[in-house]
């Protein structure tokens, strides 16, 4: 009996072959079987990739520039005139300029982000934003409770009026304090020889105490009250 011919079995499917061919056409550059297997994330093994490349070469769909590197056959350029080549060169130059500008902008933004992160870390900013959102929710719930209880909120105009009055009386208080200090300085300049500053203070305190008691007594008499207020 004659020797049997060994059976040749495909180690790949037509879908795998289509995937490899599409990848070569998309990338438009030579690749080896190992490169294709790696770049396709091992969807196709190196052995299968080698078989597929050989099969595609036999079908005249790809050609090998070197023994283990293949590239897809591209359609010939219809317009290969000097004007068309110059137009393509101009377009490529514009794209390169635009790419350079985008890279410079990216570098600038990354530098800015680094500077801002050094001032206030991103994680810290996120924590602060979360706290502010929590405070806002708490304030909103409290406002709803107050409105449900029928409590009238103070308007911004009323708040502004109170603040104006507060500033007015604060200025008056500061003026009176300054006047009191000047009067006290003048009083201490002409003290008798046998009177000290401490004696003068004690005298004022005593007189103020007596005056306050008299005023309190007069008020009690007018109101018909008994005992200490």
Q: What is the pLDDT along the chain (229 residues), one digit of tens a residue?
A: 444 444 445 567 888 888 898 888 888 888 888 888 888 888 888 888 888 988 888 888 888 765 556 667 766 666 667 777 788 888 888 999 899 999 999 999 988 888 877 777 777 888 889 999 999 999 988 888 887 887 777 788 888 999 999 999 999 999 998 998 888 788 778 777 777 878 777 877 777 677 667 666 665 565 555 555 5
- Characterize the bridge pairing of strands 62-66 and 31-32: unpaired
Number of domains the chain contains: 5
Does residue 52 belong to any structural domain of this protein? yes
CA 159 distance to own-chain centroid: 34
**Residue 15 burial class via C-beta count within 10 angstroms: exposed 0-12, middle 13-18, buried 19 and up:** exposed
pLDDT score recorded for residue 7: 46
- Burial annotation 126-162 (CB, 10 A radius, 16+ → b, else e): eeeeeeeeeeeeeeeeeeeeeeeeeeeeeeeeeeeee
Does residue 5 belong to any structural domain of this protein? no
Q: Are residues 168 and 209 in the same domain?
A: no
Contact 32, 62 (CB under 8 A): no
Per the structure, the complete domain to which residue 86 belongs is given by 81-119
Q: Are residues 46 and 64 in the same domain?
A: yes
Does residue 184 belong to any structural domain of this protein? yes
pLDDT score recorded for residue 126: 85
**Residue 45 burial class via C-beta count within 10 angstroms: exposed 0-12, middle 13-18, buried 19 and up:** middle
pLDDT score recorded for residue 164: 93
Per-residue CA distances from 68 to 19, 59, 126, 165 (Å): 18, 17, 53, 91
Does residue 170 belong to any structural domain of this protein? yes
Does residue 41 belong to any structural domain of this protein? yes
Stated length of the chain = 229
Q: Are residues 114 and 138 in the same domain?
A: no
pLDDT score recorded for residue 68: 58
Q: Is the whole model's pTM more than 0.75, yes or no? A: no
Torsion of CA 119, 125, 131, 134, to 10 degrees: 150
């Amino acid at each position: 009996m004659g020797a049997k011919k060994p059976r040749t079995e495909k180690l790949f499917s037509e879908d795998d072959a289509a995937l490899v061919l599409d990848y070569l056409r998309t990338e438009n550059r030579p690749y080896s079987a190992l490169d294709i297997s790696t770049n396709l994330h091992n969807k196709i093994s190196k052995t299968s990739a080698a078989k597929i490349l050989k099969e595609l070469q036999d079908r005249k769909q790809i050609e090998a520039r070197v023994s283990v590197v293949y590239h897809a056959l591209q359609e010939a350029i219809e317009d290969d005139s000097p004007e068309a080549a110059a137009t393509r060169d101009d377009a490529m130059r514009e794209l390169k300029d635009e790419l350079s500008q985008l890279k410079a902008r990216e570098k600038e933004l990354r530098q800015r982000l680094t500077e801002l992160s050094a001032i206030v870390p991103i994680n810290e900013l996120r924590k602060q934003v979360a706290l502010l959102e929590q405070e806002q929710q708490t304030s909103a719930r409290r406002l709803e409770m107050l409105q449900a209880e029928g409590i009238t909120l103070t308007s911004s105009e009323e708040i502004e009026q109170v603040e104006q009055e507060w500033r007015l009386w604060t200025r008056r208080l500061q003026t009176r304090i300054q006047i009191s200090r000047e009067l006290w300085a003048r009083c201490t300049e002409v003290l008798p020889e046998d009177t000290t500053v401490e004696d003068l203070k004690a005298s004022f305190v005593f007189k103020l105490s007596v005056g306050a008691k008299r005023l309190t007594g007069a008020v009690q008499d007018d109101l018909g009250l008994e005992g200490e207020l």
